[in-house]
Amino acid sequence: MNVSRGPGGDIGLTLMLGGAIVLAAVVKTYMATPYDPIFDAAGAEHGISPNLLRAIARKESAFRASAVSPKNPNGSRDFGVMQISSPNFARLGLTDASAMEPQANIRAGARLLAMMKRELGGQYTYHNIISAYNAGTPTVKARGIINPAYVGEVSTHHTLYELGRLFA
């Protein structure tokens, strides 16, 4: 498959025969999410791609506001759409109640990614920021990408959301 924009902004799509139905179904899945206006506003506010926020939310909670993780190795839990870890609540301005509210949770996730980007400084790369969201900035600074499968899945979702937006 090849996606391109023509001189007038038209979108060109070249597919191998038989792939059109599968591609159409995949693209439709990535065209809209339950919280699009919140992702867009939070991304703009914190300088984070809204599609990266969507990709992380899809991986972390499948967009379920009521999602609560099993206990992490440190005894904490992750909450809401963006699966914010309870030790991060105070620095992100969350409470136990607001962590489960989609708007507050998504905004906190965008704020956390922006903070991690600054904390990584010269070590900032697209893949490192995704890894830091999963494993924490100190771990990524010390050891690099921690969970390549997580990073790969989020990256794939991100790419598909970008593609889905071309056709929205």
As a whole number of angstroms, the distance between CA 33 and CA 138 comes to: 31
Whether residue 61 has pLDDT greater than 90: yes
In sequence order, which residues have a C-beta less than 8 Å from that of residue 126 and are 6 or more positions away? 155
**28-57: average pLDDT:** 93
Q: What is the CATH number of domain 36-167?
A: 1.10.530.10
Q: Is the pLDDT of residue 150 over 90?
A: yes
Express as a percent the part of the chain with pLDDT over 70.
82
**More confident call, 23 vs 141:** 141
What is the band of 57 on the pLDDT scale with cuts at 50, 70, 90?
very high
pLDDT at 24 over 50: yes
N-to-C CA span, the chain: 18
Whether 60 and 113 have beta carbons less than 8 Å apart is answered as no
Whether the predicted pLDDT of 55 surpasses 90 = yes
Q: Is the pLDDT of residue 5 over 70?
A: no
pLDDT of residue 10: 40
Helix/strand/coil for 78: strand
Task: Return the domain boundaries, the chain.
Answer: 1-30, 36-167
Rounded Cα distance between 129 and 166, Å, is: 24
In DSSP terms, 79 is beta-bridged to: 68, 84
pLDDT value at 96 more than 60: yes
pLDDT-derived band at 13 (thresholds 50, 70, 90) equals very low
Q: Is the pLDDT of residue 73 over 60?
A: yes
Listed ranges 11-20, 22-31, 92-101; the one with the highest mean pLDDT = 92-101
Tell me the mean pLDDT in the region 38-47.
98
**pLDDT score of 101:** 97
pLDDT computed for residue 31 by the predictor: 78
How far is CA 99 from each of CA 26, 103, 147, rounded to the nearest angstrom?
Answer: 30, 9, 25
Predicted local distance difference test score (pLDDT) of residue 25: 62
